[in-house]
Amino acid sequence: MGLLTRLFGLVICALLPSLGVQIYNEIEARQARAHEGQEQALRTVRLIADEQSRVFEAAHELLTSLGKISASAQSTELCDTLFTELQRSYPQYTDLTSINLVGQPICSSNQENQRRPSGNADYFKLALHRNSFVIGSYFVHSTTRTASIYVAQPFYSADDAVAGVVAAGIGIDWLNREIAAKDLPSKSTVSMVDRHGTILVRHPGAHRFVGQSIPGGSHAYLLSGGEGVQDALGFDGIPRIYAYAPLPNGPSGVTISVGLEKAEILKGVAAANRRGLLVIPAEAALAFLLAGIGARVFLRRRLLRLLTVADRLRQGDLRARADMPEDRSEFGRLGAAFDTMADAVAAREEQLEARVAQRSQELQVAMAAQQAAEAALYQAHKMEAIGRLTGGVAHDFNNLLAAVVGNLELALTRLDATNPLTTRIRAALSSAQRGARLTQYLLSFARRQTLRPEVVDMNQYLGSLLDVLKPLLRPDITVEATLTPDTWPVRVDPSQLEAAILNLAINARDAMPPGGCLRIETLNVTLIDGKGPDGLHGDFVALTVRDNGTGIPPEHLDKVFEPFFTTKEVGKGSGLGLSMVHGFARQSAGSVAIESTVGVGTTVTLYLPRTHGQPTVPERGSATLSEGHGTILLVDDDDDVRQVMAVMLRQLGYAVLEAAAAAEALKLLAARRHAVDLLITDIVLTGPTTGLSLARTIRQSQPDIPVVIITGYSEALTEGAMLQGALILSKPFEFSRLADVVRAALTTGQQGDTIVSPASI
């Protein structure tokens, strides 16, 4: 053992006893104070739980009385008045109510409850299930936004049978004020949670935590229903000692917890420890002073040399060496060890740098892939949510527009062309039709648009579309088409494809104010391993629309397919064009990708799946309103839509039987001696029977009756497609369209709309 080792060993041995004693004393003191803190927290939580239990016991007594009143109540108005006066007398209650066994209010202090059934409330079900006094869970009134926790119990009729449930809402704000007014230990917290883990009371910080769910993990003990003590981080991240207990002598469902800040409890112990620790540095200073004097006298030159080498090594100079081969003492051997260590560190540093560089590159690649996957997943979820919302809105508007368009067309048929009202009605009809187109854009984005797919030769189709496209562009914009020979056929709705291309062309035109070049290209592509947009794989035709305009900023690229998002000036864009293109591509079992560089231009590529069918020429229906004959059963629960359709059909010469529901339609058929010639029914009807079920029921007695299904959007049609031979009429529709579909149903049965989904392409 060398001299330096002996010197430092002596210093350490001198310090160890004092340090060991101090550490032992600190541990003992901390454990004792922590135990005292646990006992203090447990006493406090028991006291608060006992006080809160009296609140719920008082509510129990009040409910017992209210139950007797409800059981014998002769006048609902007098009963409501009594409940209201009682609520005003007791500020802790937000609501007093009694409910019969079917969930209807009997008496209530709350006007909202007098109209709203309460049979689905958790306290109602729990009280009937347990047949006793129960505590519900956190509840927020829909109109007043007042937060409460309900207590409830059954009440009984004169023959001791359960007659209903009487309940009282205890105000969460009142409970929080009661807790806040108590004399609590310094820097303590008080919480109350219900059986589901929702925070009812939190002091301090009620406005931040009330109504939130408790974090999992360290606070799961609050749902155990028992009593105990737990060390845990608080909801605010501060370490505390928590004592928790349920309400004594009461029903389960509420747990009280009290948290004492550990730093506050151990503050006295820490101060004593700091004073004790002052002795150790003093002893160490004296010991090291003596050791330093000895080192200066006996070891200074050699030690400084070694320290200099060590310092250079510490600073990263791996070339530093002691170079003491002539010294045979302990210092010489230590110097040799330093040199050996420096050599090893230098070699290890080189290896480590190489490994770190390699690993850093691997991590960068992995992180980039993960971020891309997370961004794609987020974008997919967001687009799906927006699609559901916009699709639902468009569906409702289609029903409204069906009645508006139909009535306006009927009005035009009864006015002379010279009538001043004709111009105004045509303007209103034009606006309604524009609204219908907007809803079609929304349905297209939501992938609920009714499609009529046909096998299309893309090159031939684009060749004819260019003549339509050029007038929409300015003279300073040139159009170039690069169409790959032998482009595969695709199966899409030609009208929706045309709308998508026109939307992209108009966007390109608006992005090139000083003029430019619009390029349209087609290309056969095969996507493998799901590396295409939205994970596509297989054979696709890529239709690319490219401009050299202003481009789109990078921060906007992930939003361009969202409905109503636009970078154009106010009034120059609806924000629905690209969302329609996206929805059309996805509903056609394809996808769309966009690339853009500011100042360079934008490229949008539609990927449409290849089909092996042969291109067809679409058939067009007649635009004339020819006279018809026969009896039609018309079923629709929307009075406005049904009435306008009935007028149209009668004007066409048909006899019409109207029904608002399936049951009414069956009664009309049962009262007739002769069968009807055609059934027209909405797919969604009021009551348990849908239009599809009604059609199947009627076909049991009239197997050959033609059926026309009307609906607002295509998602409802997937079920209707399973009815053999049924035609589909999408809302809103024009007078001529209704005439064509009815005539087709009564003759060839080949004129209805076609349902299409990604799985069917």
- Sheet with 134-140, strands from edge to edge, namely 105-108, 93-100, 162-171, 147-156, 134-140
Answer for the pair 95, 109: CB distance below 8 angstroms, yes or no: yes
Q: Bigger pLDDT: 270 or 53?
A: 53
Q: What angle do CA 164, 170, 171 make, to 5 degrees?
A: 140
Give the model's pLDDT for residue 390: 58
- Sheet with 631-635, strands from edge to edge, namely 655-659, 631-635, 678-682, 707-711, 727-730
Reported as a single tens digit per residue, the pLDDT across 576-585 is: 668 778 888 8
Q: Bigger pLDDT: 224 or 671?
A: 671
- Write down the H helix ranges in 320-329: none
Q: Which two tokens stand for residue 509?
A: 């035109």
Reported as a single tens digit per residue, the pLDDT across 499-535 is: 888 888 888 888 898 889 999 999 999 998 777 787 8
Q: Which two tokens stand for residue 636?
A: 């629709």
pLDDT of 292 strictly over 70? no
Each as own residue / partner, the long-range contacts of residues 421-427 (CB below 8 Å, 24 or more positions apart, any chain) are none
Give the model's pLDDT for residue 761: 28
Model confidence band, residue 5 (pLDDT cutoffs 50, 70, 90) = low
| Segment (H or E) for 640 | helix 639-651
Model confidence band, residue 546 (pLDDT cutoffs 50, 70, 90) = very high
Instruction: Calculate the average pLDDT of the chain.
Output: 78
- Write down the H helix ranges in 90-154: 111-115, 122-130
pLDDT of 23 strictly over 80? no
Sign, CA dihedral 55-58-62-63, equals: positive
- CA 541 – CA 113 distance, rounded (Å): 60
Residue 518 has φ and ψ, to the nearest 5°, of -105, 120
Reported as a single tens digit per residue, the pLDDT across 129-162 is: 888 898 888 888 877 788 888 899 999 988 888 9
Nearest CA to 522 out of 576, 618, 456 is that of 456
- CA 63 – CA 69 distance, rounded (Å): 10
Q: What angle do CA 16, 17, 20 make, to 5 degrees?
A: 80
pLDDT of 662 strictly over 60? yes
Q: Which residue in this structure is represented by tokens 């892939």?
A: 369
Domain with CATH 3.40.50.2300 in the chain: 631-760
Q: Which two tokens stand for residue 66?
A: 């209210």
631-760 has which CATH code? 3.40.50.2300
Give the model's pLDDT for residue 752: 43
Give the model's pLDDT for residue 759: 31
- CA 415 – CA 409 distance, rounded (Å): 10
Mean pLDDT of 440-449: 54
Percent of the chain scoring above 70 in pLDDT: 73
Reported as a single tens digit per residue, the pLDDT across 111-121 is: 665 556 666 78
Give the model's pLDDT for residue 338: 66
How long a stretch of residues is the chain?
761
| pTM score | 0.37
Reported as a single tens digit per residue, the pLDDT across 680-725 is: 999 888 888 888 899 999 999 888 899 999 887 655 455 444 567 7
Residue 551 DSSP label: -
- CA 470 – CA 76 distance, rounded (Å): 74
Q: Where are the beta strands (DSSP E) in 55-111?
A: 93-100, 105-108
Nearest CA to 299 out of 657, 6, 606, 677 is that of 6
The angle, 0 to 180 degrees and rounded to 10, between the axes of the packed helices 3-71 and 330-413 is: 30
Model confidence band, residue 451 (pLDDT cutoffs 50, 70, 90) = low
Helix (H/G/I), strand (E/B), else coil: 233:
strand
Model confidence band, residue 428 (pLDDT cutoffs 50, 70, 90) = confident
Please provide the DSSP assignment of 357-417 as one string. Answer: HHHHHHHHHHHHHHHHHHHHHHHHHHHHHHHHHHHHHHHHHHHHHHHHHHHHHHHHHTS-T
pLDDT of 28 strictly over 90? no
Answer for the pair 443, 394: CB distance below 8 angstroms, yes or no: yes
Burial label for 140, CB within 10 Å (0-12, 13-18, 19+), is exposed
Residue 423 has φ and ψ, to the nearest 5°, of -60, -45
Give the model's pLDDT for residue 606: 93
Among 274-288, 543-557, 643-657, the range scoring the smallest mean pLDDT is 274-288
Give the model's pLDDT for residue 73: 74
Q: Pseudo-torsion of CA 263, 265, 270, 273, nearest 10°? A: -150
- CA 554 – CA 594 distance, rounded (Å): 11
Model confidence band, residue 663 (pLDDT cutoffs 50, 70, 90) = very high
| Integer CA distances (angstroms), 676 to 122, 628, 702, 751, in order | 50, 14, 9, 20
Residue 557 DSSP label: G
Classify residue 299 as left (phi > 0), alpha (psi -120 to 50) or beta: alpha
Give the model's pLDDT for residue 751: 41
Query: How are beta strands 454-456 and 147-156 bridged, if at all?
Result: unpaired
Give the model's pLDDT for residue 626: 57
Across the strands, what pairs with 140? 147
As assigned by CATH, the class of the 453-609 domain is: alpha beta
Q: Looking at this protein, which amino acid is placed at residue 489?
A: P
CATH number for domain 56-174, candidates 3.50.50.60, 3.30.450.40, 3.30.450.20, 3.30.360.10: 3.30.450.20
Give the model's pLDDT for residue 742: 92
Model confidence band, residue 608 (pLDDT cutoffs 50, 70, 90) = very high
Note if the bond before 732 is cis, omega within 30 degrees: yes
- CA 463 – CA 181 distance, rounded (Å): 81
Q: Where are the beta strands (DSSP E) in 195-278?
A: 199-203, 228-233, 239-246, 254-261
Q: Would you tell me how many other CB atoms lie within 10 Å of the CB of residue 193?
A: 25
- CA 672 – CA 650 distance, rounded (Å): 19
Note if the bond before 154 is cis, omega within 30 degrees: no
| Integer CA distances (angstroms), 377 to 304, 371, 498, 533, 712, in order | 62, 10, 30, 12, 30
Q: Which two tokens stand for residue 201?
A: 């009371």
Sign, CA dihedral 282-283-286-288, equals: negative
pLDDT of 329 strictly over 70? no
Domain with CATH 3.30.565.10 in the chain: 453-609
C-alpha radius of gyration, the chain, whole number: 41
Among 163-177, 390-404, 434-448, the range scoring the smallest mean pLDDT is 434-448
Helix (H/G/I), strand (E/B), else coil: 152:
strand
The angle, 0 to 180 degrees and rounded to 10, between the axes of the packed helices 458-469 and 494-510 is: 50
Give the model's pLDDT for residue 721: 47
Give the model's pLDDT for residue 393: 62
Give the model's pLDDT for residue 19: 66
From first CA to last CA, the distance across the chain in angstroms is: 86
Q: Which residue in this structure is represented by tokens 């790959």?
A: 484
Q: Looking at this protein, which amino acid is placed at residue 631?
A: T
- CA 590 – CA 574 distance, rounded (Å): 24
Among 44-53, 240-249, 535-544, 706-715, the range scoring the smallest mean pLDDT is 706-715
Domain with CATH 3.30.450.20 in the chain: 56-174
